Chains A and B, each alone.
Chain A
Amino acid sequence: MNTEMLAQGILNGDYRAMARSISLIENSGYEVRKAIIKRIYGHGNAKVIGITGPPGVGKSTAIGNLAPLLADHGKVAVLAIDPASPFSGGAILGNRIRMQSALSRQGIYMRSTSNRLYNGGLSEYTWDIVKVLEAAGNDYIILETVGSGQADIDIMNIADVTCVFLAPGLGDEIQAIKSGIMEIGDIFVINKIDREGSYLAIKDIKESLSISNKLETPVIGVNSLTGDHYEELVQSILKMHNRNPREKYYKKLKLVVMEAIYHEYSNYVDSIEFGDKPLKEDPYTMAEEILARHVARPDGLKGREV
């Protein structure tokens, strides 16, 4: 595989090279992914804007409004993630429909991916795909999560600014003070403010922020049909500083270490002769045995003999 050529294409901002690289990252496994990331890492400097919230609050539609406005301030790319089917593994990637016309008018790169059954609101390789978009010279990367539940908070490990989207009528003040997604927002956006109850929704969020001493967190009501108050949202996003780059690097490093270990040692697991019965030893003992036998030790010896 000619990853050299692809990497050069990414750095030149070539859409076809970006698109193919992203496919390879998703589909080709550890080695190819490593080869691509190694060549493009450190290029570009983007602000990653995470858009999260429950299904149906209007995340995709909002991006259709937000992306063109952000494009006045720099180059924009969009990455949207939709859930895969737990039965077939297939997916309907429907985010694009809501933003198609707005994006194609301005030539904004947009990619939809399936989460491939990965939990947490993102896909397993979202970090890598974001790096591709960053290296391609984008200043702003809008990252839309799967319609999220209360615990889908992976976005905070990748996004520089997390916008939590909500709509009127989703719950009362008890919902607003719950943990999980309600804690990770750098900006709260109440969509569909033309609907009944929008005042209460904004009030509930503000009160809960006031309880946790985060009153400076912006709470913005927007109307995606008319585009009302989107400029305010853009200004809030631009004002935010990129937080915790070290922490984000650390989290990804940890995942890669785990994957690398797995990549290395799954071969040993595969090579165990199982016969038609499970092993006599419990899985914990067995796992330690595999590690003890194969882990390289500082004195240069390959593990202890068992």
Chain B
Amino acid sequence: MWGGRYSVSGKSQKYTEAPIKILLAKPAIDGHDRGIFVLAKAFRDAGMDVIYAGLLPTPEEVVDTAINEDVDVIALSLLNGAHMTAFRNVMEILKKRGVNDIAVVGGGIIPDEDKPALERMGITGNFGPGTPLNIIIDHIKARAREIRKLRENEY
């Protein structure tokens, strides 16, 4: 209770500084969710609002969820090698819906030779297994900051 309700003055609260909202998703067929739980918990401990889309959401569901929840970042993960197709689907649907103010980051088992292509689609990060959590968190924070700035100018 202390520090909850009236800890910050209404006026000084800034949209750009509010907790980052992030959607973790494994679009299309992939049932490996141990890693994403580790990430979800790490992001929570970094002060983010974390939504996990559950197993097997379609790319459409991922985009729908991202829009309805107004997330800052979508973090896509696939371990099964389908990233070039599934990640691209997500990006295409985002584009079709005219969404350009959500950052998309990627991760999973992603061969080095695929990374430039993913970057060109706008999917950054693309971290593999063993990446220290703080590197991932810093990357997401940086992307989220860009997005919040972008949005603030919009409204």
Contacts and interface: CB of A to CB of B under 8 A. Distances in A.
**Residue from B21, B52, B151 having most chain A Cβ neighbours under 10 A:** B21
Interface string B1-21: 100111001111111001101
Contact of A266 (B6, B47, B48, B154): B6
13 contacts: A1-B155, A2-B154, A19-B68, A27-B19, A28-B15, A85-B44, A90-B45, A90-B46, A117-B4, A119-B4, A262-B6, A263-B9, A263-B11
B5 A118 contact: yes
A104 B57 CA distance: 10
Which size class do A's interface residues fall under?
Answer: 35 or more
Contact of A30 (B10, B54, B65): B10
Nearest to A89: B47
Contacts of A84: 49
B50 A93 contact: yes
Interface of B: 1, 4-6, 9-15, 18-19, 21, 40-41, 43-54, 57, 60-61, 64-65, 67-70, 99, 151, 154-155
A286 to B, nearest CB: 16
A104 B154 CA distance: 28
A22 interface: yes
A117 B155 CA distance: 28
A90 B84 CA distance: 31
A100 interface: yes
A267 B4 CA distance: 18
B155 A100 contact: no
A119 B45 CA distance: 20
**Residue from B44, B57, B60 having most chain A Cβ neighbours under 10 A:** B44
B11 A30 contact: yes
A214 interface: no
Q: Nearest 8 CB-CB pairs, A to B? A: A30-B10, A27-B18, A29-B13, A19-B70, A90-B44, A97-B54, A1-B155, A263-B10
B59 to A, nearest CB: 12
B86 to A, nearest CB: 17
